[in-house]
Amino acid sequence: MTGSPNEKSYSAVILAAGSGTRMGAAHNKIFLTLNSQAVYTYSLDLFLADADCAQIILVGKVAEKEQFLAVLSDKVQFVVGGAERQDSVRNALAHVSTSQVMIHDGARPFVTLKELSALKTHQNAILAVPVKDTIKQSDDGKITHTVPRQNLWSAQTPQYFETAVIRTAHEAAFSARFLGTDDASLLETFSDIPVDIVMGSYDNIKLTTPEDLTVGQAILAKRGQL
């Protein structure tokens, strides 16, 4: 894990164009509340609290823009998302005004300033945690292989990149009609630029199912935020 020792000004892209399907919600899950606060605002407040964050781009559905109006400002702007997460990121990157960018899922409300600071000591890096479970590979419902986990990591966000580098990777993916599993996977596929791993936290969960809200309440309680 290598990188520059200097933190620097960056833009934050917060992806907030999701749905509530797996959450069992009738609307976008980022508007669900934890401790009476909308899920996406935890990330928004975090980036607003970071003096190095020069610009925040909220990416959402055009039909939901009115729900973001109260938080927009000279620093926080709204960009319409696309059909896929990758399309939403590509749309946002066209508006980034700094040389570095953090791309973050608005459904991950528990990232910390300490983790942001660790990312900023690198040029291109992601937060990730070591896989804890035993991973099985299967074919037609039968185990074919146990995957050694000592080198396996669960990727998280934010993911931090040189803006020009990640823009180029997104354009290449768009031209090739390639859909990656995260932004780092585009650099893996279309660039020889290495992406560093920065140790994240197991608290940095993505709220996806109703059970995750229960875990989220426990995380807030542990942090004394309830």
The answer to whether residue 178 is domain-embedded is yes
Q: What local confidence, expressed as pLDDT, does residue 1 receive? A: 37
- In degrees, rounded to 5, the angle at the alpha carbon of residue 50 between the alpha carbons of residues 27 and 214 is 40
Tell me, yes or no, whether 226 lies in a domain: no
Residue 5 confidence (pLDDT) above 50: no
pLDDT at 115 over 90: yes
Residue range 141-157, pLDDT digits in tens: 999 999 988 899 999 99
DSSP letters spanning 175-191: HHT---SSHHHHHHHH-
Res 65 pLDDT > 90: yes
Domain ranges, residue 103: 10-213
- Residue-wise DSSP of 90-157: HHHHTT--SSEEEEEETT-TT--HHHHHHHTTSSSEEEEEE--SPEEEEETTEEEEEEP-TT-EEEEE
Q: What is the CATH number of the domain that holds 114?
A: 3.90.550.10
Pairing type for strands 10-15 and 53-60 reads parallel
Backbone angles phi, psi at 67, to 5 degrees: -75, -10
Residue 218 lies in a domain: no
Window from 6-15, 40-49, 120-129 with minimum mean pLDDT: 6-15
pLDDT tens digits for range 155-186: 999 999 999 999 999 999 999 999 999 999 99
**Number of domains into which the chain is organized:** 1
pTM: 0.91
Give the alpha-carbon dihedral of 43, 45, 51, 52, to 10 degrees: 20
The residue-averaged pLDDT of 136-141 equals 92
Closest-CA residue to 119 (of 132, 103, 143)? 103
